[in-house]
Amino acid sequence: MSKYITAYYSDEEDLLKGIGQIKADGLKIMDVLTPFPVHGLDKALSIPRSRLTRVAFWGGAVGATLGFGFQAWVFTIDYPLNIGGKPFFAVPSFMPVAFELTVLFSAFAMVIAFFLSNKLGPGAKPVIHDERATDDRFLVVVEVEENSPEERISQIEQALAKAGAEGITLKA
Amino acid sequence: MYTSPLREPLIRGNKNYKQVTDDILSPMAGKPSKYWYLGIILAGIAALFGGWATFRTVFYGIGEWGLNKTIGWGWGITNFVWWVGIGHAGTFISAILLLFRQKWRTSINRSAEAMTLIAVMCAGFFPLIHMGRLLLGFYIFPYPNTRALWVNFNSPLLWDVFAISTYFAVSLVFWYVGLIPDIGTVRDRAKTKIRKAIYGFLSFGWTGSAKHWSRHETISLILAGLAAPLVLSVHTIVSFDFATSVIPGWHTTIFPPYFVSGAIFSGFAMVLTLMIVTRKALNLEEYITINHIESMNKIIILTGSIVGIAYLTEFFIAWYSGVEFETYAFFNRAFGPYAWAYWIMMTCNVITPQLFWFRKLRRNVMFTFVISIFVNIGMWFERFVIVVTSLHRDFLPSSWTMYKPTLVEVGLYVGTLGLFFTLFLLFIRVFPVIAVAEVKGVLKSSGENQKLTGHE
Amino acid sequence: MENQKFIFPRKLASITLSMVGIGVLALVVSYFTGVGSERIAANLLLNSYYFLSLGLIGLFLVTVHTIAESGWHTSIQRVGEAMSAFIPVGGVLLLLLFVLGGMHLLYHWTHTDHLDAILLKKVAYLNTPFFYGRLLVYLVLWIGLAHFIRKNSLLLDQTGDLKFYRKFRMLSAVFVVVLAITSVTASWDWLMSIDAHWFSTLYGWYVFSSMLASGTAILILLVIALKQMGYMTHVNQEHIHDLGKYLFGFSIFWAYLWFSQYMLIWYANIPEETVYFYERHKHFSDVFYVNLILNFVVPFFALMTRNSKRGSLIMVPVALIIFIGHWVDLYQLIMPGVVGGENSGIGIPEIGITIGYVGLFLFVVFRSLTKAPLVPKHHPFYKESLEYHTQY
């Protein structure tokens, strides 16, 4: 178990400034919780660009191959049927379904990967540091070990106060 | 971020983040108003009428409808296409307008998308009921079976199956992914244990972590990129149902983009109809401002004009082609026995929306409401005109006939309207009607107070 | 720095002018080597139409962003305006081509003494006086609107008076409406009526989407070229990224319309419609596939990632490919009907005349760029344009 020290901000610009200060002080930020996506936060926390786009691409590639291949297999190998004098291998006819499956696979692969990588999903039990984090407060959470000495904690609290935090709480 | 002083604020009133949360979530707490009850009772009655019509259709068969051997498609497909069309606005708003960085979408995207999902459900009902045997609905999917048969991949009707189900699935996911942070907000403000548990479950454990937000933005963007061509493809494929045929008046190459444009046109009209009422009923006039209504009216005039050009193009090319049947089909539309339907369509879709060129009228709520209803009517008649007038003059004059809907068909249509409003009224009780987090995201650049203090 | 004006380097001017020289030379050579006057006329039509359309798309992009009140586009507005300077030149060249005998070579419906039953039905639309009448209406509207839009844009810049901004916006709306109608009818007149029996309702929009993709490619090339020469320093990666997204999106949109038109005609299989693609499959099958590869496959895969749209390394070659690709698209629209499978090809007339038009286009555009500051700094959205970031 560890303890969490949370600094509160009520404006995203103060938050960004504060984060810069906290990082300059050499503290390790565990997490930042915000009610909406704050621009510039990715950079401030050096979060790398998400690789979910690649999942989307490969999902789409699988969907396209499967969609087109399946139709082609059905109509040329498994059960060729003359329909309205169309050729068995009717490429233009296969396009709509192939396209739809591309989009379907791409979207679902990406969204599933999103939930898995964030460990989000039905029944997930998150640690809610403060309920105002989804309302109007911006939270910076710093983790400290359970048995850290008092001085260490107050040192961190002072650093956070120096970084413009409007409120600081300690939670086990 | 700097915005030009010429831009009107998108959020009126002196709002801070907390007020945004309170204003948008307050309609969900407390007891619904008596208008809400009245609405849901009326919608419920309409849905019951639909239930009766469904029973008649399933129990006695398609003979209950006014179709005959010349006109094999009547109100059923008209309603189907109409509902699918309406279902285009939501995903258009959240996908294409996101790609175009239109900030005004944040106030309307959530409910427009919910409307989309409901409209697609209503649409899907018609092909199913047209089978006459709802139980056999799964026949339309390709699955290995004892008959060793597959579905016909050459048929546009089958493409529809894939298009509509993909559209529904992807729109649902897109909507829900966007909704998760707001459900988190609802969870954290829930007063009772049960509410907390339900919304906690639905929120998928959302906390607002910076890393989650970062990925959330990435997938929202990619989903928008995927949904944008998807929106186009759905009505394109619906138009293929007609345009791949050789029926004069149906087989014309302009159908795909023209149907898409018409779909967005009717979808925005329905969004306007719903939003003008909703903003009033839920006191959200500071979030869905006259500026939003004006922007939507601009989309109405754009798509309406595209549809108008398409009508004229079709008409001209029908003559220019030199094909007697084409020429006749269009002449018959405008001056034949169904001319009344054609001119209703022309008036509501092409002529009245042109009044939105005047800024005064674009910014008049009552006028917009009336025009939005007109467009809904006009777009319904567009599909009716395309379906019925092209069919009722068959190649053999001995087969020429007219078509009249029966009470059962009317019942099915009214029933889906009832279903639509019932589900929408439930939606506004259960979920936030405006994307809370997204509105907060634009508050700094587009809120009224920020603009007044010269915030940059 | 802020108020920079483009100075047309002498070397560049002489390069563009010598390209024009090559074009004229190619024209003369083709004439005397006897490639056939149809083929020469077809090439002149192709290029006149192509570059006239690029001018119109330049203005279209300016006007459509103006009425959409888009902020980011303001910083590159001058480039689109400069492209529109070619509208009168292209229009006059087209008119000259028709007047100097092109009509008879290009359009067999002008051979009024042997019209068949179907063409006789179309005489009310396809006749020479009406054709010229429409052409003059298009040119007057386009040139006139282009002139007044540019004038108000410059007045806005000189005075900073929002009165001119409102006028600029109003004229832009008029131009968009006018172009929405005339671009369609013009493509019927000049291109679709080559195959006078054939018809397709989508044709006008298809051609427009083709020109839109190519016009965007040219805009990108011009912006990057100006940056290379040290101008337009206020244009950054974010603007290039947005233009790249356009190029990607418009290419997909073009492919969508191509597919819609082709698939519906293929599927319904009505002889009077399929004859069009039958001819193209039979004699122009290479061009048919090259068209799809250059205009859809290449941009789709090359511009898919974010990084490829943010720099010139991939954008420049792709934009060039798209520019060539839509030339090929026009080639397959025009050549089968005018020249036919046996006599057509890609040789001196095609390459030489195109080089000439490219030179002329660049000369006109660059000369127009020298006439106004590259930075529209009194535009009400200018500051927004500088400060924005593509958040994604």
Answer whether A93 sits within 8 Å of C267, measured CB to CB.
Answer: yes
Answer whether C184 sits within 8 Å of B3, measured CB to CB.
Answer: no
* Tens of pLDDT, residues C196-209: 999 999 999 999 99
Answer for the pair B286, B11: CB distance below 8 angstroms, yes or no.
Answer: yes
Instruction: Give which of C238, C241, C259, C307 to mutate to test A binding, by max A Cβ within 10 Å.
Output: C259
Residue A125 CA: distances (Å) to CA of B181, B202, B215, B301:
15, 11, 20, 48
What is the reported pLDDT for B230?
Answer: 94
Instruction: Give which of C241, C256, C267 to mutate to test A binding, by max A Cβ within 10 Å.
Output: C267
Query: Does residue A151 sit in helix, strand or coil?
Result: helix
Q: Which among A39, A86, A93 has CB closest to C391? A: A39
CATH number of the domain where residue B328 is located: 1.20.1630.10
| Domain-embedded: residue B373 | yes
If asked whether residues A99 and A65 sit together in one domain, one would say yes
Residue A36 CA: distances (Å) to CA of A12, A39, A125, B95, B411:
10, 9, 20, 19, 45
DSSP type of residue B395 = S
What is the reported pLDDT for C1?
Answer: 44
Residue A94 has pLDDT above 90, yes or no: yes
Q: How far is A148 from chain B (nearest CA, A)?
A: 25
Q: What percent of chain B has pLDDT over 70?
A: 98
Q: Which among A36, A42, A107 has CB closest to B173? A: A107
Instruction: Give which of C126, C131, C191, C201 to mutate to test B binding, by max B Cβ within 10 Å.
Output: C201
Query: Does residue B67 sit in helix, strand or coil?
Result: coil
If asked whether residues A59 and A101 sit together in one domain, one would say yes
If asked whether residues A21 and A63 sit together in one domain, one would say no
* Tens of pLDDT, residues B275-296: 999 888 888 888 999 999 999 9
**What residues in B contact C268, CB-CB < 8 Å?**
243-246, 251
State the average pLDDT over residues A16-41.
Answer: 86
| Domain-embedded: residue B312 | yes
What is the reported pLDDT for B1?
Answer: 62
Answer whether C181 sits within 8 Å of B218, measured CB to CB.
Answer: no
Q: How many domains does chain B fold into?
A: 1
Query: Does residue B9 sit in helix, strand or coil?
Result: coil
If asked whether residues A71 and A31 sit together in one domain, one would say no
Bridge pairing between strands A29-33 and A138-145: antiparallel
DSSP type of residue A88 = S
| Domain-embedded: residue B9 | no
Three-state SS letters, chain C: CCCCECCCCHHHHHHHHHHHHHHHHHHHHHHHHCCCHHHHHHHHHHHHHHHHHHHHHHHHHHHHHHHCCCCHHHHHHHHHHHHHCHHHHHHHHHHHHHHHHHHHHHCHHHCHHHCCHHHHHCCCCCCHHHHHHHHHHHHHHHHHHHHHHHHHHHHHHHHCCHHHHHHHHHHHHHHHHHHHHHHHHHHHHHCHHHHCCCCCCCHHHHHHHHHHHHHHHHHHHHHHHHHHCCCCCCCCHHHHHHHHHHHHHHHHHHHHHHHHHHHHHHHHCCHHHHHHHHHHHHHCHHHHHHHHHHHHHHHHHHCCCCHHHCCHHHHHHHHHHHHHHHHHHHHHHHHHHHCCCCCCCCCHHHHHHHHHHHHHHHHHHHHHHCCCECCCCCCCCHHHHHHCCCCC
Residue B337 at interface with chain C, using a CB cutoff of 8 Å:
no
What is the reported pLDDT for B456?
Answer: 38
**What residues in B contact A14, CB-CB < 8 Å?**
none
Answer for the pair C248, C309: CB distance below 8 angstroms, yes or no.
Answer: yes
Answer whether B320 sits within 8 Å of C199, measured CB to CB.
Answer: yes
Q: Which among B4, B251, B256 has CB closest to C383? A: B4
Residue B162 CA: distances (Å) to CA of B86, B230, C145:
18, 11, 46
Q: How many domains does chain A fold into?
A: 2
Residue A165 CA: distances (Å) to CA of A34, A132, B97, B454, C121:
14, 15, 36, 25, 81
| Angle (nearest 5°) at CA C280 between C275 and C285 | 145
Average pLDDT of chain A to the nearest whole number: 88
Answer for the pair B443, B450: CB distance below 8 angstroms, yes or no.
Answer: yes
Q: Which of A132-136, B52-56, B366-370, B445-449 has the lowest mean pLDDT?
A: B445-449
State the average pLDDT over residues A99-103.
Answer: 95
Q: Within B321-364, where are the H helices? A: 324-335, 339-346, 359-362
If asked whether residues A59 and A30 sit together in one domain, one would say no
Token look-up 């969900």 returns B28
Answer whether B256 sits within 8 Å of C202, measured CB to CB.
Answer: yes
- Rg of chain B on CA atoms, in Å: 23
State the average pLDDT over residues B176-195.
Answer: 91
Residue B453 has pLDDT above 50, yes or no: no
| Local confidence band at B84 (pLDDT 50, 70, 90 cut-offs) | very high
Q: Which of A81-85, B182-186, B227-231, C168-172 has the lowest mean pLDDT?
A: A81-85
| Domain-embedded: residue A65 | yes
| Local confidence band at B9 (pLDDT 50, 70, 90 cut-offs) | confident
Token look-up 């500026």 returns B291
- Those residues of chain C whose CB sits closer than 8 Å to some CB in chain B are 69, 71, 118-119, 121-122, 125, 162, 177, 180-181, 184, 188, 197, 199-205, 245, 252, 256-257, 260-261, 263-265, 267-268, 270, 272, 380-381, 383-384, 387-389, 391-392
Q: Rounded to an integer, what is the distance from CA C38 to the centroid of its chain?
A: 22
If asked whether residues A75 and A109 sit together in one domain, one would say yes
Backbone angles phi, psi at C5, to 5 degrees: -115, 150
Q: Which of B196, B183, B201 is nearest to A123 (CA)?
A: B201
Answer for the pair A33, B209: CB distance below 8 angstroms, yes or no.
Answer: yes
Residue A95 at interface with chain C, using a CB cutoff of 8 Å:
yes
Quick one: tokens of B103? 């900030």
What is the reported pLDDT for B17?
Answer: 87
| Domain-embedded: residue B295 | yes
**b/e per residue A114-140 (b: at least 16 CB within 10 A):** bbeebebeeebebebbbebbbbbbbbb
State the average pLDDT over residues B309-324.
Answer: 93
Q: What percent of chain B has pLDDT over 90?
A: 63
State the average pLDDT over residues B151-180.
Answer: 93
Answer whether C387 sits within 8 Å of B2, measured CB to CB.
Answer: yes
Residue C20 CA: distances (Å) to CA of B316, C23, C36, C362:
40, 5, 22, 10
Residue A92 at interface with chain C, using a CB cutoff of 8 Å:
yes
Residues constituting chain C: 392
What is the reported pLDDT for B262?
Answer: 94
Residue A24, burial from CB neighbour count under 10 angstroms (0-12, 13-18, 19+):
exposed
Answer whether B213 sits within 8 Å of A37, measured CB to CB.
Answer: yes
CA distance B128 to B126: 5
Q: Which among B3, B309, B322 has CB closest to C118? A: B322
Residue of chain B whose alpha carbon sits nearest to that of A89: B154
What is the reported pLDDT for B455?
Answer: 43
Q: Subunits touching B (CB < 8 Å, at least 3 pairs)?
A: A, C
Q: What percent of chain A has pLDDT over 70?
A: 99
| Domain-embedded: residue A90 | yes
The helix-helix angle for A150-162 and A12-24 (nearest 10°) equals: 130
Report residues of chain C scoring pLDDT below 70.
Answer: 1-3, 389-392
Cβ–Cβ contacts within 10 Å for residue B115, how many? 26
Q: How far is A125 from chain B (nearest CA, A)?
A: 6
Domain ranges, residue B177: 17-452
Q: Which among C266, C305, C391 has CB closest to A92? A: C266
Q: Give strand pairing partners of C5.
A: C373
Domain ranges, residue A106: 52-118
Instruction: Work out how many CB contacts closer than 8 A connect A with B.
Output: 187
Answer whether A92 sits within 8 Å of C269, measured CB to CB.
Answer: no
**What residues in B contact C384, CB-CB < 8 Å?**
2-4
**What residues in C contact A89, CB-CB < 8 Å?**
none
Q: Which among B201, B214, B240 has CB closest to A50? A: B214
Instruction: Give which of A49, A135, A138, A141 to mutate to test B binding, by max B Cβ within 10 Å.
Output: A135
Q: Subunits touching A (CB < 8 Å, at least 3 pairs)?
A: B, C
Q: Give strand pairing partners of A141.
A: A6, A31
Q: How far is C341 from chain B (nearest CA, A)?
A: 25
| Domain-embedded: residue B313 | yes
Quick one: tokens of C386? 């500088």
Answer for the pair B104, B10: CB distance below 8 angstroms, yes or no.
Answer: yes
Answer whether B4 sits within 8 Å of C252, measured CB to CB.
Answer: no
Q: Subunits touching C (CB < 8 Å, at least 3 pairs)?
A: A, B
Q: Give strand pairing partners of A8.
A: A139, A167
Residue A133 has pLDDT above 60, yes or no: yes
Residue B308 at interface with chain C, using a CB cutoff of 8 Å:
no
What is the reported pLDDT for B450?
Answer: 60
Q: How far is A37 from chain C (nearest CA, A)?
A: 11
Cβ–Cβ contacts within 10 Å for residue C124, how many? 10
Answer whether C387 sits within 8 Å of B254, measured CB to CB.
Answer: no
Residue of chain A whose alpha carbon sits nearest to that of B211: A47
E strand segments, chain A: 2-9, 29-33, 138-145, 167-171
| Domain-embedded: residue A42 | no
Q: How far is A92 from chain C (nearest CA, A)?
A: 6
CA distance B399 to B406: 20
Residue B305 at interface with chain C, using a CB cutoff of 8 Å:
yes
Bridge pairing between strands A167-171 and A138-145: unpaired
Q: What is the complex's ipTM, to 2 decimals?
A: 0.93
Answer for the pair C158, C174: CB distance below 8 angstroms, yes or no.
Answer: no
Q: How far is A168 from chain C (nearest CA, A)?
A: 31
